[in-house]
Chains A and B, each alone.
Chain A
Amino acid sequence: MRPTASRLLNILVPVKRTIDYAVKIRVNPDQKGVDLNVKHSMNPFDEIAVEEAVRLREKLKDAVKSIKVVTVGPPKAAETLRTALAMGADSGIHVEIPDSAPAPEPLGVAKALRAVIEKESGGVDLVILGKQAIDDDQGQTGQMLAGLLDWPQATFASKVVVDAGKKEANVTREIDGGLQEVKAKLPLIITTDLRCVSLRSLSVQWLILNSLHHSLNEPRYASLPNIMKAKKKPIQKLTPADLGIDLTPRIETIKVSEPAKRVGGGKVESVDELIAKLKEAGITAVKA
């Protein structure tokens, strides 16, 4: 089909604007959502995806023809695209939804991405996206997109090696108790992990804070010249209607609640008092 261009890769990186992970989440009084009037930034998993795409280009040089970033989100999500462009992506697509619209669900987003991919005249060879967004923790978009497109998927990647000539990729995934290496032909969907299997039970925020050195990569800072260049890179604006998709949620949020507050400890003056307190709390010594 594309005899000469077939060796050149087009990479698409979907990104999401989420509440920044350093922000303390506050539940709204109506318990239907959280306070969104706080600092937002790029979903950290997506940041890793963008970084990986840029590193692939640094490795494969001209074999990577384009890195395009796409977001489905409100007007302000354009800032997230600019950040990705400053990190090294070439151009962006903004599927814009109104501020008042409900947050789209993974299936809606996956369908929007499929439509975007189908519209790309040069085709898309590789989609790299975060394995989950830290706001809703759904972790489904990549897999759904692979299903809709009937493409292979390599999820939770901790290492990616692409052979542009052979049009295939080797992806290392962290799984319980070890590593799994999978190989797949392009076009392919890759979702990026933070590589921290043993710490899985801890909160995402904690994970991100502590696993910077363990992730697939460490996303770069946006340097000033690149930020300036990014301002001039093209962002194409689309609406869900342009793509012929409907983003209306199918799931109703019934209640959002905060985790139980930790109660502070108290101080005791003596061992006797400690024992008394323990008894009070219903803790008794084990009979030998």
Chain B
Amino acid sequence: MLSRHLARRIASRSTPRVVRLSHSLPDFQLNSVNEQDVEHFSKILPKTSILSTLAPISTESSELEPYNTDWMNKYHGKSNTVMRPRTTQEVSEIVKWCHERRIGVVPQGGNTGLVGGGVPVRDEVVLNLGSMNKIRSFDPVSGILVADAGCILESLSEYLAPQNHIMPLDLGAKGSCHIGGNVATNAGGLRLLRYGSLHGSVLGLEVVLPDGTILDQLSVLRKDNTGYDLKQLFIGSEGTLGIITGVSILTAPAPNSSNNVILALPSFDNVKPLFKEAKRQLSEIMSAFEFIDRTAYDLAVKHGQGRALNEGDVEGAECFVLVETSGGNREHDEAKLNGLLESLLEADQPLINTGVLSQSPAQFSQLWAIREGITEAVSKEGKAYKYDISIPLGSFKEVVDTTREHLRSKGVLHDGAVKHVIGYGHVGDGNLHLNIVAEAYTQEIEDALEPFVYELVAKYKGSVSAEHGIGLMKTHALHYSKNATSIDLMRRIKSLFDPHGIMNPGKVLP
């Protein structure tokens, strides 16, 4: 019995199911890291900051696993060397060497990216910024924060809290993602509606260019119209143009008063009029308006994300909306929010069934946890195909339903293949997260989904990536959202910065 069991285990281990992630791996002529390289790296960095399976470091390859595997456990690199520099100077020297030796470099932050951009395609070295985690300065008058790229988003928020400021962005991955990674992916997240994109709040960057040169643009000026705004190129460049080592960012005054409410809607059709009404009545204090469809809600609850609403309150709800307000005056904000809620409940044809209003900071977090926990719940439920798309708000449900029906017609919507098709996201920004939760990643499902989803998005003149980026996952789909002229210009910019193509090879550009 035992031996049979063992035999089966060994057999299944020796024949791992190889999932060809469609589009074959990109071709690039780069060199692998050898022992001489590691020898040289050890002169730049202390040995404790290098993980390498090569001598003289000789780390167990299992220790490199976390750096080679992405958050979804979908993309697997084969890097033999990971470095964790502590200073910009160290980064610069490593990159200079890689440039001369033509070794590929993958900048890595918290490795929470969802498009396979932060792990190697082959055996590029991984340059993880996690040890560069110091706050360089904070000016409580202007609210300008300058920090190392490897600072974790949540620690920056914690640092700012006693100084009554908040980061202009927030997302479910806050406990792991780095501010450098956020800038590199131009992360959107939950506060975009209120504080705008990083293209506005990032004031300056320090970047190590692909030849090792340090570009110091760590400006602390809000206004600076002196020629081309180079830093913008790095925001959202996903590590393909250089390594961000420092970030100067405008933080916002902490609101004195925040409230949130989850509303249960009988039909998706009510989302749009509700958004309009909420905007009209709450105006400047509305800071988030998030959409959660019923299946997404049920998954979050099933996997213990946040605390579920009372049973009676979810009955008959087709979807949910989380509205957050934040402002400077509690009485004023509560009066506005209560006004909205009263008018919603008392309307002749109510847009909502019911809802819950948080009564304490604890409940406030619990309500948010339902929304923020969806990503995690999905990853617990199965393997997720994530499409993070920008489309007109009115078509959110249509896109989810059309995709589900398409999968059904392809015969992959059943236990053992695709389990759920869900939609949630940032209504305020027209950003839908379309997730297909499957038992396993398979070619059949991928073929059913692509290019179907991308063509669907193109039909609505949407974007194939609203906020997660292109990474490795979507290079072949870039053309759905960028025309040939744009892609050609992007290529020329890439080769201007990175003539040897060492910086995050295979990512973003097809």
The size class of the interface chain A forms with chain B is 20 to 34
User: A23 in the interface, Cβ–Cβ < 8 Å?
Assistant: yes
User: A39 and B360 in contact (CB under 8 A), knowing A224-B355, A269-B46?
Assistant: yes
Min CB gap A41→B, angstroms: 3
User: A29 in the interface, Cβ–Cβ < 8 Å?
Assistant: no
Contact between chains at B307 and A218 (CB < 8 Å): yes
User: A227 in the interface, Cβ–Cβ < 8 Å?
Assistant: yes
Min CB gap B254→A, angstroms: 12
User: A156 in the interface, Cβ–Cβ < 8 Å?
Assistant: no
User: A20 in the interface, Cβ–Cβ < 8 Å?
Assistant: yes
Min CB gap B368→A, angstroms: 12
Using CB atoms, name the residue of chain A closest to B47: A269
A222-B356, A269-B48 given. 14 additional CB < 8 A pairs?
A20-B360, A41-B362, A44-B362, A212-B307, A221-B310, A221-B313, A221-B359, A222-B357, A223-B310, A223-B354, A224-B352, A224-B354, A225-B354, A269-B46
Using CB atoms, name the residue of chain A closest to B258: A39
Which residues of chain B from 349 to 365 have any CB-CB distance to chain A below 8 Å in the complex?
A: 352, 354-363, 365
User: A217 in the interface, Cβ–Cβ < 8 Å?
Assistant: no
Min CB gap B309→A, angstroms: 6
What are the residues of chain B within 8 A of A44 when measuring CB–CB?
362
Contact between chains at A224 and B356 (CB < 8 Å): yes
User: B398 in the interface, Cβ–Cβ < 8 Å?
Assistant: no
CA A262 – CA B426 in complex, angstroms? 39
User: A275 in the interface, Cβ–Cβ < 8 Å?
Assistant: no
Contact between chains at B361 and A20 (CB < 8 Å): yes
User: B345 in the interface, Cβ–Cβ < 8 Å?
Assistant: yes
User: A22 in the interface, Cβ–Cβ < 8 Å?
Assistant: yes
Using CB atoms, name the residue of chain A closest to B367: A221
What are the residues of chain B within 8 A of A223 when measuring CB–CB?
310, 312-313, 354-356
User: A45 in the interface, Cβ–Cβ < 8 Å?
Assistant: no
What are the residues of chain A within 8 A of B415 when measuring CB–CB?
none
User: A228 in the interface, Cβ–Cβ < 8 Å?
Assistant: yes
**Top 6 A-B residue pairs of the complex, sorted by shortest distance between their CB atoms:** A41-B360, A221-B356, A22-B361, A224-B355, A20-B361, A83-B359
Contact between chains at B362 and A21 (CB < 8 Å): yes
What are the residues of chain A within 8 A of B344 when measuring CB–CB?
224
Residue contacts A-B, CB under 8 angstroms, 6 given:
A39-B360, A223-B312, A224-B344, A224-B357, A227-B341, A228-B345
Using CB atoms, name the residue of chain A closest to B262: A221
Min CB gap B266→A, angstroms: 14
Contact between chains at B362 and A22 (CB < 8 Å): yes
Contact between chains at B356 and A23 (CB < 8 Å): no
What are the residues of chain A within 8 A of B307 when measuring CB–CB?
212, 218, 221
Using CB atoms, name the residue of chain B closest to A220: B310
Chain B: how many interface residues by the 8 Å CB criterion? Answer: 26
CA A267 – CA B46 in complex, angstroms? 12
User: B342 in the interface, Cβ–Cβ < 8 Å?
Assistant: yes
CA A39 – CA B361 in complex, angstroms? 7
Using CB atoms, name the residue of chain A closest to B49: A269
What are the residues of chain A within 8 A of B363 when measuring CB–CB?
221
CA A22 – CA B366 in complex, angstroms? 11
User: A42 and B48 in contact (CB under 8 A), knowing A224-B345, A224-B355?
Assistant: no
CA A127 – CA B345 in complex, angstroms? 34
Which residues of chain B from 303 to 357 have any CB-CB distance to chain A below 8 Å in the complex?
A: 307, 309-310, 312-313, 341-342, 344-345, 352, 354-357
What are the residues of chain A within 8 A of B360 when measuring CB–CB?
20, 22, 39, 41-42
Contact between chains at B48 and A41 (CB < 8 Å): no
Min CB gap B135→A, angstroms: 14
Min CB gap B462→A, angstroms: 33
CA A271 – CA B500 in complex, angstroms? 40
CA A220 – CA B313 in complex, angstroms? 11
CA A227 – CA B346 in complex, angstroms? 13
CA A225 – CA B356 in complex, angstroms? 9
CA A218 – CA B362 in complex, angstroms? 13
CA A44 – CA B361 in complex, angstroms? 12
Using CB atoms, name the residue of chain A closest to B359: A83
Using CB atoms, name the residue of chain B closest to A212: B307
Partner of A224, one of B46, B341, B362, B365: B341
CA A222 – CA B307 in complex, angstroms? 13
What are the residues of chain A within 8 A of B361 when measuring CB–CB?
20, 22-23, 39, 41
Using CB atoms, name the residue of chain A closest to B313: A223
Which residues of chain A from 210 to 264 have any CB-CB distance to chain B below 8 Å in the complex?
A: 212, 218, 220-225, 227-228
Contact between chains at A22 and B365 (CB < 8 Å): yes
User: A221 and B354 in contact (CB under 8 A), knowing A20-B362, A23-B361, A41-B360?
Assistant: no
Min CB gap A245→B, angstroms: 29
Min CB gap B156→A, angstroms: 16
Min CB gap A45→B, angstroms: 13
CA A54 – CA B186 in complex, angstroms? 48
What are the residues of chain A within 8 A of B263 when measuring CB–CB?
224
What are the residues of chain A within 8 A of B365 when measuring CB–CB?
22
Contact between chains at B309 and A221 (CB < 8 Å): yes
What are the residues of chain A within 8 A of B358 when measuring CB–CB?
221
Which residues of chain A from 72 to 105 have any CB-CB distance to chain B below 8 Å in the complex?
A: 83, 86
Which residues of chain B from 362 to 393 have any CB-CB distance to chain A below 8 Å in the complex?
A: 362-363, 365
What are the residues of chain A within 8 A of B261 when measuring CB–CB?
224
Using CB atoms, name the residue of chain B closest to A84: B359
Residue from A22, A23, A24 having most chain B Cβ neighbours under 10 A = A22
What are the residues of chain B within 8 A of A24 when measuring CB–CB?
161
What are the residues of chain B within 8 A of A20 when measuring CB–CB?
360-362
What are the residues of chain A within 8 A of B352 when measuring CB–CB?
224
Using CB atoms, name the residue of chain B closest to A82: B359
CA A84 – CA B71 in complex, angstroms? 42
CA A24 – CA B359 in complex, angstroms? 18
Contact between chains at A41 and B310 (CB < 8 Å): no
CA A165 – CA B465 in complex, angstroms? 64
What are the residues of chain B within 8 A of A228 when measuring CB–CB?
341-342, 345
